[in-house]
Structures are given as C-alpha cells and as structure tokens.
Structure 1
C-alpha cells in the first residue's frame, strides 16, 4: 500500500514534476520552433485578430490576463506575460493588510503562451485569447524555471498526464453548471410550493440568453447538448463530456461567455452557490468516467470505459467501486475545494433542495453525494457553481487513484463499508478548513505551497465572515434579549 501521509504515488509524482527546473526552457523551445511560430502567425492573419488576451486562471477560479496587439505574438511566445505572483491568488489582501501568497516583495512570474489554445472571441472577432502556463522566471537562479503550483490549470494537466502514465487510465468528465440570471424579463411567478422547473414558458423567457450563450459556446468549440430551466432565474446548459482538462477549461470559458451575454442583454449572471433560501442552489455536478487507452490508429478513439462492462442493469464495475470509495473517503478533506466559499454551505442546510449532505452513494437517487445515474458514469454531486474546476478535478483524481491503488471498498448503496462508516461531511467553511488539514493523504498528495496559500485564503474568508454582524442577528437579538 502507498504511503498515506506522503500522498502515495500521486504525491510523489507531483513533487518530481514540480522540482523540474527545465520546464520553462522546454516550453519556450517548443514555442519557438519555426513551424509553431508560422502556424500561429498564419492563424492570426487568417482570422483578422488584432488583439490577444494572454490568460491564466487563478486559484479563486477567476482569470487574469494582459491584452497585447496581435503582431507581437512571436515575442510573446518567447517570454510571455509577467504578473506579480499574487495575481494567482486574486491579489487578495488579508484582514491584517498583507497580500496573500507572497506580499509586496514577491517576485513576478512569467506565463508562457500555449499557442494551440488560440481562439477568436465570437462577440468581437478582432480579439483572440491564448491560455498561458506560469513559471518561476529563469533569471531568479536556484530553483528557477519550475512550474508554479498555484497555476491550477497547469497543475491538473501535468497531474493527469502522470496519472495516465502510471495507470493507463484517463479521466473524462462532463459538468452541469447551474447559474442564476436576474434582470428585466427574468421574473417568474407560480403557485405556492410549486416549482417553475422545466416549463417551456420559463425557457421562453430565457430565450435571448440561451441563444447567445449556446451560439458563442459553439463558436468556441463546445459540443452543446441540452439545457433546462430549474428554478427562479436558474438556467443549466450542458456540453458533451471530454478529457477532464478540456472540460475544466471549457468551464472557465463558459463563465466568460455568460458574463459577456449578461453585459449585452443588460442582465446579471451569477455563479453564486446559494443566492436564495427556499430555492435550489447553483450546483456543478461532476460526471466522471475512467477510460483505458486503446491501440487504434492516430486520430481514432477506441478507448474503453472501465466504469461499465456492458451489463444492462444499473451497476458499477470493481474499478468503479474502488474509485467511488476513494472519492467518498476523501470527501471531507476535499470539501474546501468543492464548496470553497462561506455561501457554499448554505446549499446543504436548505432542506428539500436536492443538495446532498453526506458521504454516501446510490443508484439513481438524488440525495447522495455520488450517484450512478447511468451505466458508465459517476455523478459527484457536491461541487457548486463557484468551484475552481481544475482544483476539483485535481482532488478527485488524487482520491480516485488512492481508491484504486488501495482497492478500497465503498460497501453497497445505503450500506457504507467500514472504511466509510465514520466519514462526516463538513457543513460550514470553518469545519471544511479543519477537515482539509486533517486528511493526511490529500495533504501529502498536493504541493505544499498550494495547500498553505489556499488555507490562508480560506481562513481569511472565514474570519471575515465570522466578524460580520448580519441582519439575521440584528432581527433575532436586538429586541429579544431583555
């Protein structure tokens, strides 16, 4: 069995990857190959793009970028963008007035472009975007040139690649991002205790929204598949599943699309986890499957989904059971990622709104943390719409590998095994912070810098919340205490 405290093979591999001081140089060399420079230049000329966003997602699931005139693409391939290191932690200052993640004296990072990610923004075809990977600049001396672990997009990509090399398996996923739209024309009315979900009249109210969102998404290579109206102003639009790193990247892009559509229509679009009491929260269920690479010709996909084996009845395979046990065992330790805000936990307290609150699993039942809704798919229901999708996939991947490596048993639906019998899911951000630190496997599996700074951010958020006097408290106690 793997070293639990060291994060097993998962943690050992990540430590080795992050110690590589040649990472920047290799990326730069690949960028400057004549064919790479030529292909990007030709695409820019063909599309007529005049400006390019060079972008990196942050630890808090936002995106930072610089805009550069398109003709400078070759210079950008060489050096990329430079930001103060705390841009990766959303430039968040603690309550004590100190920048989290390095302070004012922290050095810059360099973000090298990934030219294959170049796309044209459909709402303004003179503007393109390219994702970048963050490195410690090579001029810093000892330890320079390494991948920065706070770049969660890059971190998940290298972790997933290493996972596949070790196991022969690839994680694929599809997300169900719910979100709330407000503004003129978005109002809905229905009878007491009646849900507005699925009604075509409510979809019609959202027609200007979903037409724009879907068309923009399709222009950015999303395979859009379906959508529905779920609660007051709540719209869920889905795209087809894919390799997990592509799914996470599309979630980042989807947020950008929705904010743009809201600007164009004079609306507000929010991914807040729980906007209203008595209404469903905005979840982001992760539908997961594991695929064993096939041996077909290049360009074909003859991979095998090892989560199902052809049986007709709803079921899971042995490897799926191991993966389920790993995810459920590490649910407490990963809840700080899956529910990353104070507001996230209000989603679990509002009874009757389909949000799970325990580390359990079942066959086609919506009250559990992990639902088998169809053969070949594991629906992990705890993340909400404010989640960092790179970080959620990273933690799920580590938990899955532990489950497979240790051959953990989840028990039967509704009857947890001994390994899961005492697992309790945190129900506040404060208790999630404690559970995060109390999981030796996940603490060992993840880079120390990532966990340390993520904890700083979340402790600061919890402290700010605990120090606020709410209207609820005023209403409860102003007159009630003699």
Structure 2
C-alpha cells in the first residue's frame, strides 16, 4: 500500500510539497503544493504544460500530470515545512515515455524480468564560484595541485558541513568530502543504492548544493568545464548488479574480481559509449572536458579513448574493487535519470548479446594512447555524439525511436542557437553563451 502523504504531512508538520520532475535537459521543474491539497495530487498529479519545459511537445498538447512517488519523499533539512517529491509524468492516462524518470523505470523493469537489480553510486563534482560566475569563490585557492588541500577545504567548512549534515540527517550515509583537482572544486560521496533511488538523490543533491551555496552568499556549478585551464566537473558512476543480497558482478576467482555477467554488461557499455555520450556528456561545454589537453594540475582526469582497466584513473572505465566498475565518462551536466538509464540500457544489451569487452589495458592512457591507434575514440563535439545516437539502432530500440528523436531534436535546436553566435574551439576560452546556458545545469 502506498504511503499516505496527507497523513505524513500531519505527522512531520510539512506545510508544503514540491512536486518535481526533471525534463530531458536535466532541469528540475516543480509546483509548490499546500499540504491540505496533497491527497488529490497524490492520486491525480500536479498539472504541467509540456511545451513549457525541455520536452518535445507543443502548446496544443494536453497537460501532463506529475504523479508523486511517496517513496522519494525528502523533508528539506534546512526547511522542515517543505517536502520534496520526485514524480513520474503522465499524459492522457499513460506514462510519458520521453520523460527521464519514466525512461529509467522502463529499463529497470527489463532488468527486473531477470530477477536482477542495478545498484549504483555517483561522485558529483562541483565548483564554488562567485555569484556572477566569473571566478572561483576562494581567491586564496591558487595551488597548481590543490587536490585534497586541507586549508582550502576547511575555509569552506561551514558550507560543506551543512550539506554533509543534511545527508546524514536524510540517511544517505555520506562518508567523505574533499577538495578536488581544480581550484575551487569539491566532491562529496554518499552510499550507493538501487539506481532509481540514486538518481532521485542525485537530483536532490544538485538542488541542495546550489541552495545551500546561495545561503552562504556563493554559487555552486556542476558545469562540465567552467574554466578552461582547470579540471572539469565529472560525475563518475559506480555500478553493480544484484540478485537479492548477492552481488552478481563479483567473482573471487577472476583477476579483477568480476564475473562473466559483469564483463558482458561492461562490454555493452563499451560498445555503446560513443553513442551514449549524447546523454553522458549532453552539453556543448561537455566536449571541453573529454579529449581535453592537460590542465593546470597536469592531467584532465577525464577520458579520451574507450578502454577499461584495473585500478587506473586514466581509462574510461576502471575496476577499483572486485564486484563493481567505475564509469568515468559522465560529467556534471548529465541528467541524473538518463545517466542511470543509459548505463542500464547498454548493460542490458551486453547481457543479451554476451558482448566481450576485450582485455583490460594496463597502461597510462594519457601517455600511451598512441600505442593503441585502433582504440575507439570518444566524440569531439555534441553534434558527433548526437549523430552516433541517432544511428545506434540498439539504443533506439531500447528507449524507443520517438524518444531518441525528441532528445536529438531539442539538443540540436540548442546547438544551432550556439552556432549562430559562436564557434566551438577547445583552444579558446569558454564562451559567454556556454556560461549563460550551462552554469546552472
């Protein structure tokens, strides 16, 4: 039986609910609903006009209704009067196939038919910047190798502590916070979970970090590459597949600790990585991060080739521990639901077709890439990744051709707007258009 949100509101003294959904561009959209109206909203949903968001609809289309998922409820730790809810979009009595949370749930259903569940965790990197977006917030954070810098970390102690305290209160199991490789850049880690829950938490995390940063007079950005000379914002995903309490990716007899199932799943991700970069790296600015030259710190920490390895951060995929792998391709602009849905769709393809990922490479890929001229390269720009996605029959089958076409249509429209005023050149500074359109992604 579904949780009764009206009764929960009474018990927890919630006065308002944010009924939210994420559109295809990853923008969080919401309606603020008073608690006395939540009973009807829980059944009928909150109404939205699809054309008003980044969804491929017209003003003539019927209203969409966001049906809140009671299991996703988060009472805002910094404002207990408000409860946040992720919702699934419905139109004309049916789920909206081209809404990201529905897209993820459709892939989860396919895996569930095999009595399996994908669990995942994400590493969300972000910059703390000035409100105008022109510089990092801490003028004393100037080291050429600032990663793990205790002094810079502790100068932001009050802000980071507040975010981490919120995660502790919400039961996420946060376990470490650190200053990352770029000046002004931070990362906060919490426990992995079932992939839908991880996507919901990822969505809320971005909202929470931005909100608390503003409270402290700063601005937080997950933009892939806000500063050309600094390491970009990645959003690495750690992935495993489970059957009940058993990790089906684990094999103690394998050198890297992975099962045959894990290698097949991994093979599907490798085969489809170039196409899925349209989801993993969805903005024009994303392509300043991958295939990038070394940054101020000496390394970009992002991939350029499609390869996998053991515990080695120069490859697209690394296997840091037995029973899981880390996909390092995604960046901070990735839609939390499409990120998980894409990994799962590619993995399902790999399981179905028993895809062999080949042998792992034990090398420094940043230095030795020339030794592997036949290794597939990642796309150099958004147009290339969109074209690869358009022509990937397997991913079109996985998500539905209409859904893929809608996504490509919207991204192409944005790309054309950029190209009407700018040219994309990785050797030149990040453009004003990129910052205006991506800083708050």
**Post-superposition shift, 1:422?**
6.4
Look up the match of 1:18: none
Q: How does 1:38-437 map to 2 (within 5 A)?
A: 39-89=4-54, 101-137=56-92, 145-165=93-113, 167-183=114-130, 186-190=138-142, 194-230=144-180, 231-293=182-244, 303-311=245-253, 313-348=255-290, 349-351=292-294, 352-414=299-361, 423-437=376-390
**Post-superposition shift, 1:310?**
2.6
Q: 1:116 to 1:316 in 2, by over 3 A?
A: closer
1:64-121 CA distance string (max 9 Å, x none) = 111111111222123221111224526xxxxxxxxxx222212211222222333311
Look up the match of 2:412: 459
TM-score, structure 1 as length reference: 0.80
Partner Cα separation in structure 2 for residue 423 and residue 350 of structure 1: 18
Structure with greater Cα Rg:
1
- Checking the alignment, whether the CA contact within 8 Å between 1:64 and 1:87 is kept in structure 2 is no
Misfit runs of 4+, over 3 Å: 188-191, 311-315, 420-424, 469-473
- Checking the alignment, whether the CA contact within 8 Å between 1:88 and 1:151 is kept in structure 2 is no
1:310-346 CA distance string (max 9 Å, x none) = 3485342211111111101001111100000000000
**Post-superposition shift, 1:264?**
0.7
Q: 1:471 to 1:341 in 2, by over 3 A?
A: closer
Partner Cα separation in structure 2 for residue 130 and residue 364 of structure 1: 37
Partner Cα separation in structure 1 for residue 293 and residue 60 of structure 2: 44
- Checking the alignment, whether the CA contact within 8 Å between 2:72 and 2:197 is kept in structure 1 is no
Partner Cα separation in structure 1 for residue 406 and residue 198 of structure 2: 25
SS in 1 for 2:329: coil
- Checking the alignment, whether the CA contact within 8 Å between 2:16 and 2:34 is kept in structure 1 is yes
SS in 2 for 1:217: helix
Q: 1:130 to 1:471 in 2, by over 3 A?
A: closer
Q: 1:277 to 1:82 in 2, by over 3 A?
A: same
1:361-408 CA distance string (max 9 Å, x none) = 111111111111111111011000110121121111111111111111
TM-score, structure 2 as length reference: 0.87
**Post-superposition shift, 1:430?**
1.2
CA RMSD of aligned residues (A): 2.4
Which blocks of at least 5 consecutive residues in structure 2 are unaligned? 131-135, 363-372, 430-441
Partner Cα separation in structure 2 for residue 410 and residue 159 of structure 1: 21
**Post-superposition shift, 1:282?**
0.1
**Post-superposition shift, 1:358?**
1.1
1:180-214 CA distance string (max 9 Å, x none) = 002396223445xx311112111111212211111
Partner Cα separation in structure 2 for residue 442 and residue 75 of structure 1: 37
- Checking the alignment, whether the CA contact within 8 Å between 2:86 and 2:200 is kept in structure 1 is no
Partner Cα separation in structure 1 for residue 83 and residue 424 of structure 2: 45
